[in-house]
Amino acid sequence: MPGKLKRLLIGRPMKSTEIEGEKLSKLKALAILSSDALSSVAYGTEQILIVLMAAGFAALWYSIPISIAVLGLLTILIVSYRQTIFAYPSGGGAYIVAKDNLGLSPSLLAGGSLLVDYILTVAVSASAGTDAITSAFPVLHDHRVLIAVFMILILTIMNLRGVTESASILAVPIYLFVVAIYVLIICGVINYFTGGAHAAAPEFGKTISNVSLFLLLKAFSSGCSALTGVEAMSNAIPNFRQPSDKNAAATLMMMGILLAGMFIGISLLAYWYGIKPAAEETVVSQIAESTFGRGTLYYIIQGVTAVILILAANTAYSAFPLLAFMLAKDKFMPHAFMVRGDRLGFSNGIIFLSILSAVLVMVFQGNTENLIPLYAVGVFIPFTLSQLGMMIRWIKLKPAGWMLKLFINTVGMLTTLSITLIFIFTKFSQIWVIFIFLPLVVYMFMRIQQHYSNTADQLRIDLFNEKPIAKGNTVIIPVAGVTRVVLNTVSYAKTLSDNVVAVYVGFDDESVRKIEQRWNEWNPGVRLIILKSRYRSILGPLRKFIDTVEWKKAESDHITILIPQFITKHWWQNLLHNQSSLMIRAYLINRKDVVVATVPYHMDR
């Protein structure tokens, strides 16, 4: 049953050799890797306007230069990440670049920062998507957490089904969104120039006395939230078809151009139409309404926007498992993240990401807006480290034309560093927690690696001098009565050793007398030892007995505990039997140097 359900949800298992078929074409890669970046068009301009509005309506004209600054930053990031892709064609996220050029701690900081970030992305996107749904259907408002968790579940299943399949499904809404926004921008511009909608726009270039540098920086950093998805492409190079580096670079360019056009288009229209940010209606909604009125086109735009906000999470689903895999390969995360699931994805990474983001959604009861600055700063730290790493690389390697490359990355590094500092400066009260949390994550990575290296040291053997040696074996069988299960176990024990004893732990004289009598009648050729338990514990007396045997036996002998166990036909029947054998097994295997074997007797009714 669970097996069938799994097949139904995620599909048939795939052979390891089918992995080439799971590689992505440029168009599909764009669909699943750019959803995070492109979705920021839905709120990027609005974030800027909200900050500026603090200085009044007249200050809103600043959104145009700020948007241009954001675009400039986008250009720098894309050009420099393009360089990274060609320099690290097997996948060059911030973690790899930092590890290669900056050393251990910065690389772990970059990796940990991104992992945390992806978890936040999923939680925030699922909550944002839920808000879009509950705005349309207010009756659902009480079930926000449930809806958000359900969305995470859907994303999980889709991603467990595999990369190409989710790309095929996701491509439709994402391209619809892009087309819809461009139609909106084109119609909006035509509308404006044909004089269809002339609202009062704030006067451009007018100096506003109460606009401080701090406010402008805050607005700029809010606009930079739109750039959070840029990193994903360079992490996911291995998922592209050959030549994967060229394809990744081209896809990155494509994404940059689409994003730039939509972002500046929406910012311009918002300015021209004199739109004010409002709590009850988004900026995109206001522009769409001014352009088309509340008709079919308006609702299409609102619909695809809601869908894209949810799908933004999918970028994290592509990038997290790959990054976790890389960290696990270097032994900073559990091996489990290296295992490919039935559909060739790193399913443990997918499931881990889902669980943690669902927990976040539940803890914050779906109100994850406060996490947004946290995840913006969480992405600019690795941006900066990655640029710095590239700078050092160019200085060390000095390839042809390295001066230009160094220049590009230096500009990139300085810009992203500035933005990081602006974030810290303008939003410290919302992000300080990350400076406690990230060092803890890095410390955890190091402890994990230390454990793995300790384990490897302890398990390593000298192939030429350490060979197996056969020794003696004392077999102990705990029995609860004279039954077929015990008969089965004693038969087996006789094949192992001549040194077999049965042990009975008795709580009262009556039961002891009874088993002694039956054992003697049966006379199976194995001695029965009686242990009395005044405290009605089986483990205590058994442990003491094993201690005695350990002390008496020859230095080199093994001790084997054979546990007679009957296996019920149906699982629920287990509830009817005291699971002493499981308890004995769990206890002994962890505490004592004995071999514990379960000798099963399968019931047929």
Longest dimension (CA), the chain: 108
Contact flag: residue 508 with its own copies (CB under 8 A):
yes
CA distances from 584 to 547, 593, 602 (A): 15, 14, 20
Quick one: angle between helices 283-292 and 163-193, nearest 10?
Answer: 60
Answer yes or no whether residue 604 interacts with its own copies by CB under 8 A. Answer: yes
Q: Judged by CB under 8 A, which stretch of 125-133, 158-166, 415-423, 533-541 contacts its own copies?
A: 533-541
Residue of 171, 411, 417, 496 that binds its own copies (CB under 8 A) = 496
CA 362 to chain centre: 16
Work out the number of other CB atoms within 10 angstroms of the CB of residue 164.
18
Q: What is the three-class DSSP state of 407?
A: helix
Instruction: Name the residue with tokens 């809010």.
Output: 222
Pick one of 537, 544, 548, 583: the residue that binds its own copies (CB under 8 A): 537
> Could you say whether residue 554 binds its own copies (CB under 8 A)?
no
Q: How many residues bind its own copies (CB under 8 A)?
A: 84
Closest CA to 584 of 563, 568, 559: 563
Cβ–Cβ < 8 Å for 415, 73: yes
Alpha-carbon dihedral 284, 129, 254, 115, rounded to 10 degrees: 130
CB 452 to its own copies: min, Å: 7
Residue owning tokens 């400039």: 72
CB of 336 or CB of 421, closer to its own copies:
336
Contacts to its own copies from residues 271-300, by CB under 8 A: none
Is position 587 an interface residue for its own copies (rule: CB under 8 A)?
A: no
Please report, as a single letter, which amino acid is at residue 455. T
Q: Which of residues 306-335 bind its own copies (CB under 8 A)?
A: 334-335
In the chain, the amino acid numbered 407 is F
- Does 463 bind its own copies (CB under 8 A)? Our answer is yes
Q: Please pick, from the candidates 20, 213, 467, 552, the single residue that binds its own copies as defined by CB under 8 A.
A: 467
Estimate to the nearest angstrom the gap between the alpha carbon of 117 and the chain centroid: 9
Minimum Å gap between C-beta 563 and its own copies is 10
Contact 565, 485 (CB under 8 A): yes
The least distance separating its own copies from the CB of residue 426, rounded to whole angstroms, comes to: 37
Per CB under 8 A, the list member of 105, 367, 454, 548 interacting with its own copies is 454
Token pair listed for 116: 């945390």
Cβ proximity to its own copies: between 90 and 194 the closer is 90
Interface pick for its own copies out of 185, 313, 526, 549 (rule CB under 8 A): 526
In terms of CB distance, is 203 or 498 closer to its own copies?
Answer: 498
Of 137, 279, 525, 551, the one binding its own copies by CB under 8 A: 525
- Residue number, 369 or 593, with CB nearest to its own copies: 593
Ordered DSSP codes for 376-402: HHHHHHHHHHHHHHHHHHHHHH--TTH
Spatial separation of the C-alpha atoms in residues 346 and 605, rounded to whole Å: 41
Q: Counting contacts by CB under 8 A, is residue 516 touching its own copies?
A: no
Element (H, E) at 221: helix 213-224
Burial class (CB in 10 A: 0-12, 13-18, 19+), 440: exposed
User: Does residue number 510 form part of the binding site for its own copies (CB under 8 A)?
Assistant: no
Burial of 279: CB neighbours in 10 Å, binned 0-12, 13-18, 19+? exposed
Q: Which is nearer to its own copies, 399 or 468 (CB)?
A: 468
Nearer to its own copies, 280 or 521 (CB): 521
Counting contacts by CB under 8 A, is residue 482 touching its own copies?
yes
Among 521, 552, 554, 555, binds its own copies (CB under 8 A): 521
* Residue whose entry in the numeric block shows the structure tokens 């609202």: 199
Q: How far is the CB of 357 from its own copies (least distance, A)?
A: 19
Q: Which is nearer to its own copies, 210 or 574 (CB)?
A: 574
- Choose the binding region for its own copies from 161-169, 229-237, 338-346, 383-391 (rule: CB under 8 A): 338-346
CA atoms within 13 A on the CB side of 27: 6
90 binds its own copies (CB under 8 A): no
Using CB under 8 A as the binding rule, whether residue 494 contacts its own copies is answered as yes
Q: Contact between 437 and its own copies (CB under 8 A)?
A: no
Least separation, in Å, of the C-beta of 488 and its own copies?
8
> Would you say 62 and 217 are in contact if contact means Cβ atoms under 8 Å apart?
no
Contact residue for its own copies among 468, 510, 551, 554 (CB under 8 A) = 468
Residue closer to its own copies, measured from CB, 242 or 520: 520
* 171 touches its own copies by CB under 8 A: no
C-beta of residue 101 within 8 angstroms of C-beta of residue 88: no
